[in-house]
Structure 1
Amino acid sequence: MRPGTGTTVAGDYPDISDHGIIGDLQTAALIDRDGTIDWFCCPRFDSPTVFGSLVDAERGGFCRISPDADDFVTKQLYLPDTAMLVTRFLTEAGVGEVIDFMPVTGGEATDVHQLVRMVRVVRGTMTFVGEIQPRFDFGRAPHTVDIVNGAAITFSSDVGRLTLHRIGDPVLHDGQRAGHITPSGDGVRITITLDAGETTGVVLTSGDVEPRQMPQEELEELYHRTRRYWREWTDASTYTGRWREYVSRSAITLKLMTYAPTGALVAAPTAALPEQVGGERNWDYRYTWIRDASFSVYALLCLGHVEEAEAFVKWLMDRIHESVGDDSGPLKIMYRIDGSSDLVEETIGDLEGYRGSRPVRIGNGAADQLQLDIYGEAMSAIHLADTHGLELPHRGWDQVRDMLDWVCDHWGEPEEGIWETRGGKQHFTYGRFMCWVALDRGIRLAQRRGRPASIERWTAERDRIYEEIMSTGWNPERGAFVQHLDTDVLDASLLLMPLMGFVAPRDPMWLSTMAAMEETLVSDSLVYRYDPSASPDGLRGSEGTFTLCSFWYVDALARSGHTGRARYTFEKMLTYANHLGLFSEEIGLTGEQLGNFPQAFSHLALINAAVNLDYQLDHGSGDVEPVLWRGRRDA
């Protein structure tokens, strides 16, 4: 039984894919098919949990609204072109809906956030039972419960406060008062009986607010304002290709994971969801990776969302400005959404983890790793933004110059690599290839804008990197570019080589690499990032295929002239989305979603693959020009 059904059984968890996401551009909540909010951090993405039963069914806390019935069927969908989630319940007696959404806050950071749960019946009669059991700070902070005049409830702890506001007057049904509130353990229980056409609900508000009964008109105004915001945002998209529904849902999902006050994009709204159920690969993804967010600039500009791309580039430049001259280099690999870099990793021993997947980690110990590839991704984003009119000011160019001079000095060092392995530093091919990208984009930018730069030095180091990759990154026995110079292991990150212009997509060396990857890393349409059994990464257990690598494979196929295979592979990948079109980080052997959910990298890779595949299909397999670069080529 799921929490709130009368008996809570430890270890009873929904599938990771059984969730939708809602949010207000500062935080987000996950809601499963039976109407349970089992993940909600507040007031920010990277704050402690208020509801966290997704990582501990008994001690994590939840908010559930579902029919008071033993047998019902559920369906979920989003209101079209919005982030408003509808969970439908079908019984013989009636059909009811819970519409969950968060009114979008402004660009200023705030502790006050509203989570609206609108309840209505569209056929027959239905009694809903709601149970609210908050557990602050991953269940570590006790709280008190106060019922205020039967109209509102406050849950107060030393680390946060949550207020539940009832909507409108209690409904009389068969002579009984619906909307009755009773204490239930460390929470409350609410019953709501409605006939067809009736609507009510509750609003959960964080922060220090006055408990009150909210009028029905206010609920309706929140509903219409939120729906209008999302429809206006999606209407601004310029994408008109073949996969509008999936691209639109991916774009909305990326928007939901953007922290509006700074423009930073979190990798995922969740922490500690496992890459292997029962394993230890359970990481906290509620932070901004330079790599992931930089790739988002391409996706956002593809769709015409220039404002979001500009906000992230500004955030990125602020990080470069703050860090130039540090011993650790110009950039850290990840930051909190406010730009701070305190990501100390800890484990919460009292939580059992999703389906027993311990440890439950918060913070991220990989934050201080040296990963050289981030400079290529950052410069690619800065260069691309510049081609779309988002030019760097003088101060920004000075920061970029200092960063690229640092890359010239350090590109040959061993590092931890894109996959943040914990098995020791290596001379990763991908890291060096992306250092080539960093210098190449810096040279183009300096030449196009006539900016002062160490062009001769940058060019010499760029060419040295190229020659080294072609000699030490190429393994003649394997007939492929390999993960690092001391191995013959293949690495799916190198699928980006043709996209970034490092190698021609029909170069025999690249076609040979693709063939080797297809034999070793590709399983049907799914792609493993590497073979951990052949390349120890310092962690126990295995993992699923990486969704973003699968979409990279689609793009590599199309650029290599295999547009038919690329389209078929892309269509098959779409079948692995959940019922709402959402993807986690990985896909297991039987198609299950694994890892933190939903995953920004997966969705931005989907957008990029769709846009580029559209271009290849429309312009013929002989033309490999990326759609964003058409008509914008550098000299």
Structure 2
Amino acid sequence: MTEPSRPGAWTVSLQTSPFPPIADYAFLSDCHTGALVAPDGSVDWLCLPAFDSASVFGNLLDRGAGSFRFGPYGIHVPSQRSYVPGTNVMTTTWHTPRGWVEVTDALVMGPRHGPDTVTPHTRPPADDDAEHLLVRTVECLDGDVEIELVCEPAFDYGRAPAEWELVDDDGHTADASGSGQVFRLATDMLIGIEGSSARARHVLRKGERAFCALSWADGLAVPGDTKDASARIATTVEFWRSWLARARIPDHSLRHPLQRSALTIKGLTYMPTGATVAALTTSLPETPGGERNWDYRYTWIRDTTFTLQALHYLNLDWEADEFMQFVADLEPNPDGALQIMYGIDGRRDLTETTRDELTGYEGARPVRLGNGAFDQRQNDVYGAVLDSLLLHVRHSQHLPARLWPLIQSQAAGAIASWQEPDQGIWEARGKPQHYVSSKLMGWVALDRAAKLATIRGEADQAAEWQKVADEIRDDILTRGVSDRGVLRQHYDTDALDASTLLAPLFGFLPGSDERIRNTVLAIAEELTEHGFVLRYRTDETDDGLSGKEGTFLICSFWLVSAFAMIGERKRATGLMERLLRVSSPLGLYAEEFEVERSRHLGNFPQAFSHLALIEAAGRIILADFREELSL
């Protein structure tokens, strides 16, 4: 059984680009790494053994950087693609001139047996964990169909073509190696080695099945046969459904997008540490053919508060605690502040380099590895940490002693920095400014610190921190509001910025305040393209880069939430419906949406977009339930 797909199961593109549209990729995950599968059945992105490792299949960024196709020979357009309901397991149905087949793909999960030596854990291990296997099965539904397997890895982001070696006499198992890595390909089809690729073909008749699997597990363990491969996929289906059963998903028309967003956020979580990657990919362009290409396979501290809000809303307390423990373990800077981002293993050095030999997605260059913004000054980080801590403490009704020093250091950092300019929430690479969103998060930091001190019984400390919070609030309302009563991007401009939509979301001012209403309506009318929200106007903002951006999906979801908070319920639901209509065929979101060509841009799938969807859906559902109670 599969989830119903929308009409037009993938984007109809008449362009001649060899790159599939970003939104047409299917996302697989085992909570250690993830894969993107193109409509033609090719795995075009997979990094081993972790999300931020080097790719072994990198066709997403260069059509010669590695791929792995499993499907009918000579047929590249499937009839239907969908997730098995309640899972991150993918099925693709194909119609050929001679028959029908169905392919099922999964990064498989299974019962945990001893310590994980491939990607060691720092968090307590769960009952189930990744098996470090990509398993693909195919069943002939009718007629007879020739199945093709073409595995052509290119290690280290395409730099090292694979060297293959058959490892059994029967020709069903082969090892690929390159750049210090090895993985095993196993199948019940006969493998032939042709240069840097392994190939196989086999005709299946009605009722017959076949499998293939890639293993980077300890000892390169692989399924023994098709029955074993199918059983592992069935166990993976059970894992995802059991996990989703723990989530609180209201019985509402928004139930299905909430479920898909929850599964996506879980799929972007690195189980060994509890960290969440911002997106699966690097260097998918924000500007087609341009330079706005970033590596998002890291954890942004800014995302903590949105992640905690979403996880607690969905009643996923285990994941929330794991993520909070990851944050508590991070090594701060010498001044006690946390960096704006860390590696998923907690590492601090994310030095940015480029791979100039790669073409980039549709010619968007450079392809970046690492992220040069990791050591930027961004004063909003304190607010993100302290809001997250308050959310978690209120939910758990417990303030661990190990967190009090973190609260003190983040409050001290916010006090020391709130009057200084910075790069802002969008990590602008231009001149530092007094961004209103950064001041807002400074207020959040001290307001939340005061509340945490009250919970701890530190009345004097709470009063001291609240006094500074009030000073920041007065400063924002004096210098950060334009003559027409709208929140500015920064103190030296009247330009709009979608980040000011966070003011009502964080409780800085109530939705009934005229300045909030003015800001929300101004953004809706002046900072949108066909109703979708831009971060800012690039011609009004010194972000150190050239080129135009698409609309940012997270900002559009923030506008949904803001509409709901100012009482514009009809506009909130209308925009939410439009956003749901532009989701990918599988219910996923990238970072941006280019309105002119109706296509997704930026890294994919994007955690921030799905987190904002969860919050927006929650506010609409709450408004609907309140109306029901008032009847």
Q: Secondary structure at the match of 2:79?
A: strand
Q: Aligned partners of 2:460, 2:407: CA distance in 1, in Å?
A: 10
Verify: 1:395 aligned to 2:402, yes or no.
Answer: yes
Following superposition, the deviation at residue 70 of structure 1 comes to: 4.9
Q: Aligned partners of 2:195, 2:211: CA distance in 1, in Å?
A: 22
8 Å contact from structure 1 (residues 33, 74) kept in 2? no
Q: Aligned partners of 2:311, 2:220: CA distance in 1, in Å?
A: 39
Q: Aligned partners of 1:395, 1:567: CA distance in 2, in Å?
A: 42
Q: Aligned partners of 2:229, 2:344: CA distance in 1, in Å?
A: 30
Aligned to 2:199: 189
Verify: 1:298 aligned to 2:319, yes or no.
Answer: no
Q: Aligned partners of 2:368, 2:16: CA distance in 1, in Å?
A: 19
Following superposition, the deviation at residue 11 of structure 1 comes to: 5.4
8 Å contact from structure 1 (residues 129, 191) kept in 2? yes
1:287 pairs with one of 269, 274, 298: 298
Q: Secondary structure at the match of 1:252?
A: helix
Verify: 1:223 aligned to 2:264, yes or no.
Answer: no
Structure 1 residue runs of 4 or more that deviate by more than 3 Å after TM superposition:
70-74, 105-109, 210-213, 620-623
Q: Aligned partners of 1:289, 1:429: CA distance in 2, in Å?
A: 20
Q: Secondary structure at the match of 1:297?
A: helix
Matches within 5 A, 1:84-99: 84-99=89-104
8 Å contact from structure 2 (residues 83, 89) kept in 1? yes
Aligned to 2:496: 490
1:555 pairs with one of 558, 561, 579: 561
Following superposition, the deviation at residue 143 of structure 1 comes to: 3.4
Verify: 1:511 aligned to 2:517, yes or no.
Answer: yes
When structure 1 is superposed on structure 2, of 152-161 and 272-281 the one drifting more is 152-161
Aligned to 1:64: 69
From the superposition, tell whether residues 344 and 108 of structure 1 become closer, same or farther in structure 2 (CA, over 3 Å).
same
Q: Aligned partners of 1:42, 1:10: CA distance in 2, in Å?
A: 31
Q: Aligned partners of 1:110, 1:283: CA distance in 2, in Å?
A: 27
Q: Aligned partners of 1:256, 1:453: CA distance in 2, in Å?
A: 43
Following superposition, the deviation at residue 547 of structure 1 comes to: 0.4
From the superposition, tell whether residues 70 and 622 of structure 1 become closer, same or farther in structure 2 (CA, over 3 Å).
closer
8 Å contact from structure 2 (residues 162, 197) kept in 1? no
Q: What is the CA RMSD across the aligned residues, in angstroms?
A: 2.0
Matches within 5 A, 1:346-495: 346-389=353-396, 391-451=398-458, 454-476=461-483, 478-495=484-501
- Structure 2 counterpart of 1:89, one-letter code: W
Deviations 1:363-419 (A, max 9, x none): 000000111112112211111111111623212112211220221121111101110
Q: Aligned partners of 1:618, 1:537: CA distance in 2, in Å?
A: 42
Verify: 1:323 aligned to 2:309, yes or no.
Answer: no
When structure 1 is superposed on structure 2, of 462-471 and 199-208 the one drifting more is 199-208
Following superposition, the deviation at residue 291 of structure 1 comes to: 1.1
Aligned to 2:19: 13
Deviations 1:429-466 (A, max 9, x none): 00010110111111112213314762232122111100
Aligned to 1:132: 151
Q: Secondary structure at the match of 2:615?
A: helix
- Structure 2 counterpart of 1:160, one-letter code: Q
Following superposition, the deviation at residue 207 of structure 1 comes to: 5.0
1:116 pairs with one of 115, 135, 153: 135
1:609 pairs with one of 613, 616, 628: 616
Q: Aligned partners of 1:210, 1:222: CA distance in 2, in Å?
A: 16
Q: Aligned partners of 1:116, 1:212: CA distance in 2, in Å?
A: 9
Deviations 1:126-163 (A, max 9, x none): 11111100000112234311123201010012321111
Following superposition, the deviation at residue 242 of structure 1 comes to: 2.6
Aligned to 1:55: 61
Q: Aligned partners of 2:526, 2:92: CA distance in 1, in Å?
A: 41
Deviations 1:272-301 (A, max 9, x none): 100011000010000000112331111111
Q: Secondary structure at the match of 1:227?
A: helix
Q: Aligned partners of 1:139, 1:566: CA distance in 2, in Å?
A: 45
- Structure 1 counterpart of 2:90, one-letter code: L
2:270 pairs with one of 259, 278, 295: 259
Following superposition, the deviation at residue 342 of structure 1 comes to: 1.5
Unaligned runs of 5+ in 2: 1-14, 120-130
Q: Give the TM-score taking structure 2 as reference length.
A: 0.91
8 Å contact from structure 1 (residues 152, 211) kept in 2? no
Q: Secondary structure at the match of 2:104?
A: strand
1:34 pairs with one of 17, 31, 40: 40
Aligned to 1:619: 626
8 Å contact from structure 2 (residues 183, 215) kept in 1? yes
Following superposition, the deviation at residue 577 of structure 1 comes to: 0.4
When structure 1 is superposed on structure 2, of 104-113 and 582-591 the one drifting more is 104-113
Q: Secondary structure at the match of 2:324?
A: helix
Verify: 1:312 aligned to 2:323, yes or no.
Answer: yes
Deviations 1:274-331 (A, max 9, x none): 0011000010000000112331111111111100001111111112xx316x14x510
Q: Give the TM-score taking structure 1 as reference length.
A: 0.91
8 Å contact from structure 1 (residues 33, 75) kept in 2? no
8 Å contact from structure 1 (residues 163, 209) kept in 2? no
Aligned to 2:593: 587
- Structure 1 counterpart of 2:97, one-letter code: E
From the superposition, tell whether residues 208 and 308 of structure 1 become closer, same or farther in structure 2 (CA, over 3 Å).
closer
Aligned to 1:530: 536
8 Å contact from structure 2 (residues 39, 78) kept in 1? no
From the superposition, tell whether residues 115 and 510 of structure 1 become closer, same or farther in structure 2 (CA, over 3 Å).
same
Q: Aligned partners of 1:210, 1:469: CA distance in 2, in Å?
A: 58
Aligned positions, number? 598
Verify: 1:600 aligned to 2:607, yes or no.
Answer: yes
Q: Aligned partners of 1:254, 1:211: CA distance in 2, in Å?
A: 28
Aligned to 2:341: 334
Aligned to 1:203: 213
Aligned to 1:163: 184
From the superposition, tell whether residues 294 and 110 of structure 1 become closer, same or farther in structure 2 (CA, over 3 Å).
farther
From the superposition, tell whether residues 271 and 548 of structure 1 become closer, same or farther in structure 2 (CA, over 3 Å).
same
8 Å contact from structure 1 (residues 253, 600) kept in 2? yes
From the superposition, tell whether residues 212 and 221 of structure 1 become closer, same or farther in structure 2 (CA, over 3 Å).
closer
Q: Secondary structure at the match of 1:480?
A: coil
Following superposition, the deviation at residue 108 of structure 1 comes to: 4.2
- Structure 1 counterpart of 2:306, one-letter code: F
8 Å contact from structure 1 (residues 23, 102) kept in 2? yes
8 Å contact from structure 2 (residues 360, 367) kept in 1? yes
8 Å contact from structure 1 (residues 96, 120) kept in 2? yes
When structure 1 is superposed on structure 2, of 516-525 and 277-286 the one drifting more is 516-525
From the superposition, tell whether residues 355 and 538 of structure 1 become closer, same or farther in structure 2 (CA, over 3 Å).
same
8 Å contact from structure 1 (residues 264, 293) kept in 2? no
Aligned to 1:154: 175
8 Å contact from structure 1 (residues 401, 453) kept in 2? no
Unaligned runs of 5+ in 1: 1-8, 168-178, 624-635
8 Å contact from structure 1 (residues 429, 469) kept in 2? yes
8 Å contact from structure 1 (residues 239, 302) kept in 2? no
- Structure 2 counterpart of 1:238, one-letter code: R
- Structure 1 counterpart of 2:377, one-letter code: L
From the superposition, tell whether residues 118 and 238 of structure 1 become closer, same or farther in structure 2 (CA, over 3 Å).
same
